[in-house]
Amino acid sequence: MPELPEVETTRRGIEPFLIGQRVRRVVVRERRLRWPIPEDLDVCLSGQRIERVERRAKYLLIGAECGTLIAHLGMSGSLRLVEADTPVLKHEHVDIELESGLALRYTDPRRFGALLWSDDPLNHALLCKLGPEPLNELFDGQRLFELSRGKSMAVKPFIMDNAVVVGVGNIYASEALFAAGIDPRRAAGTISKARYVKLAEAIKRILAQAIECGGTTLRDFVGGDGKPGYFQQELFVYGRAGQFCKLCGGSLRDVKLGQRSSVYCGRCQR
C-alpha cells in the first residue's frame, strides 16, 4: 500500500504539471472504486483551473476554483501524467485531461482507492478526525508520551493510529521502531518519555529520507513520473524476516501485530 512518502512523492511529481492548468474534461471508465466515483465529477471539475495540489495524511487534495478532488491510492493505485492520447491499458480507470494536452491518469488494479469531490475537504468525513502530520511541529515525543499513558496495546499499532499521527504505515513504523531501539511488541503505556522523544525523531527522519528517495517500491507503486522509488535499499527490518540484522548480525524475527507482519531484532530492540 502506498504510504505517506509514496503519496508525497506523487504530489511533488504531478504538482508542477497541474498548477494553473484548466481541466478540459474528465473521462471515467470505471466508477466502482472503494467508494463510487461521483456521477457528476466531470461536470464539477471540467472547465476549472487547478490552483493547488496538497496532501493530508495519505490523501491527495487537488484544489480547483470551486471544489477539491480528494484522491486516495488505496492498496495498488497510482496517479501519473501521460499524453492525453496515450492508449488506455487495463485498470486505467480515469483520465483528467488538461488543456496542456496531458492527462492525469488514475490506475488501480484492486480498486481500493478513491476519487471523491468536496467543497470543504478538511471537514470531509475521511479527513476531519485525523491527527497531526508527522513532519510538522504539532507532532513530537511529548504527544506520543501523553497519548500512550494507560494504553496496553503494542507500541507499533499505537503509532500507526491515524488519530495519534497520520501516515506512519507498516513500513515506516517498523523502520522507526528499529532506529529507536524499541521492541514493536512493547505496551505503549510502558515506554518512557525519553524513548518516545527518540521514536518521534526517528519517524521524522525516516519519513523525510524516504520522501527524498521517492518512496519505497515493493509491488505496484510508481511516482507521478512513472518511476519507482528506491528507499527499499535503505530498509533495515521491513520485509527481511529471517535475514541478518545489519547492526548486530543476529537473525531478524517476525511477529503478527494487529494482523500485520512486524519484523524486529531481538537484540537491538527492547
DSSP 8-state secondary structure symbol assigned to residue 49: B
Q: Give the CATH number for residue 24.
A: 3.20.190.10
- Using alpha carbons, list the distances in angstroms from residue 132 to 83, 187, 263: 36, 22, 26
151 is in an annotated binding site: yes
Domain that holds residue 22: 4-123
107: β partners? 78, 92
110 is in an annotated binding site: yes
Give the span between the Cα atoms of 121 and 56, in whole angstroms. Answer: 10
Q: What is the pLDDT along the chain (270 residues), one digit of tens a residue?
A: 688 998 999 999 999 999 999 999 999 999 999 999 999 999 999 999 999 999 999 999 999 999 999 999 999 999 999 999 999 999 999 999 999 999 999 999 999 999 999 999 999 999 999 999 999 999 999 999 999 999 999 999 999 999 999 999 999 999 999 999 999 999 999 999 999 999 999 999 999 999 988 765 434 434 444 454 434 567 999 999 999 999 999 999 999 998 889 999 999 999
Give the span between the Cα atoms of 148 and 145, in whole angstroms. Answer: 5
Q: Give the CATH number for residue 234.
A: 1.10.8.50
Query: With 0-12 CB in 10 A as exposed, 13-18 as middle and 19+ as buried, what is 260?
Result: middle
What per-residue confidence (pLDDT) applies to 146?
98
CB atoms within 10 A of CB 259: 6
Angle at 128 between CA 175 and CA 126, to 5 degrees: 75
Is residue 259 located within the same domain as residue 213?
A: yes
Is residue 105 located within the same domain as residue 168?
A: no
Query: Is residue 115 classed as helix, strand or coil in its secondary structure?
Result: strand
204 is in an annotated binding site: no
What per-residue confidence (pLDDT) applies to 259?
85
Annotated catalytic sites, by residue? 2-3, 58, 260
Exposure string for 86-97, b = 16+ CB within 10 A, e = fewer: eeeeebbbbbbb
Is residue 53 located within the same domain as residue 117?
A: yes
What pTM does this model have?
0.89
The amino acid occupying position 107 is T
132 located within any domain: no
Structural domains in the chain (count): 2
Contact yes or no for 183/255 (Cβ under 8 A):
no
What per-residue confidence (pLDDT) applies to 219?
40
Is residue 33 located within the same domain as residue 99?
A: yes
User: Got the DSSP string for 233-262?
Assistant: GG-SSTT-TTSB-TTT-PBPEEEEETTEEE
